Structure 1
């Protein structure tokens, strides 16, 4: 039993880079849920709250919780498996399958990551994701769109989504799997667009020009049925 708390801490530390990337999409959402479960001390909460960037906020959040106690680490792992977190961050799907008893730091994380991404893709309905084209585009919708973008993803990023070549190169370096690169690019576009990042807007952009996608691949963005 004495080894299990340490195993939880090792497990979370090994997943930190991936968790930071995923949770940075809405760092404040995670912080408030962690605070509601008293996973942070009041002092730590204030420190994390005043971090300037989402990535820094999530990094500090994970560090404070993991370093606080084994019980806090276990609480964090349980929180990441909660439906609210899973719904807000679809890429957290892999956390459900993490097992502190079988986890090994030397495990081939690349093959596991590939299985996780495609498992997530399989559960996304192609035509039933969007309830309204005027709604802000969701991560599930972005993942579904990412499935339809092929080798021309860089051109789409530069010419259609107005993303700099430098940022696209960074995305390519950070992600080895094609669908993850496209998904990261779309997430970055959504971040830049803020309240303009609606499903209808994305559909309009991807329907024009030489890089236009097939209607059947993206019409779910504007169809409610």
Structure 2
């Protein structure tokens, strides 16, 4: 296992290393023999550790050796430390049981959180692949050429669009019709220009597209997609 993702057992041994050395060094050879009997250390490691004359260093080397062997050896040592024989010999080892439980729970929670994050990231990537990349809002001010193109595309329902989407009063619409008799396109264009004048700096191409995209208006959306393109010369 990589050091970048140590198991809960390895973390526990590293975190409690100094405390374990202090507790176990009083009978270092006793602990070494039990560790060897459970095959927690290699034959070469056993010889090297046994040759050490200083109890504290002997325990330090034993812990380092087991940590280097990985999670399986670390788990084996924790099981040894929780055994009845070592618990009776070293009463101060009582802490190891509750500490290991907390460590493993924390490790499981971290793994679960990591899995959730990976799943969420994968879902986002899949959504990005499914949804085509396109501009969803054009923040440039709408031009008169664009307004004229919209006027030509709106059709017979332009009064409904003007009242519901553009919020133009019916009195104003009557005036627009009177000023532009017999030409529906000019009537719609004048209504759109009135909306632009009222909105001022908020009269963007993207904003107009959003208003015309309301489902209940039932307008042909493809006719207004040019409003999303900032490079459109219209």
| Structure whose residues are more often helix by fraction | 2
TM-score tier, shorter chain, comes to 0.3 to 0.5
The structure number with the bigger radius of gyration is: 2
The two structures have a TM-score, normalised by structure 1, of: 0.43
The two structures have a TM-score, normalised by structure 2, of: 0.42
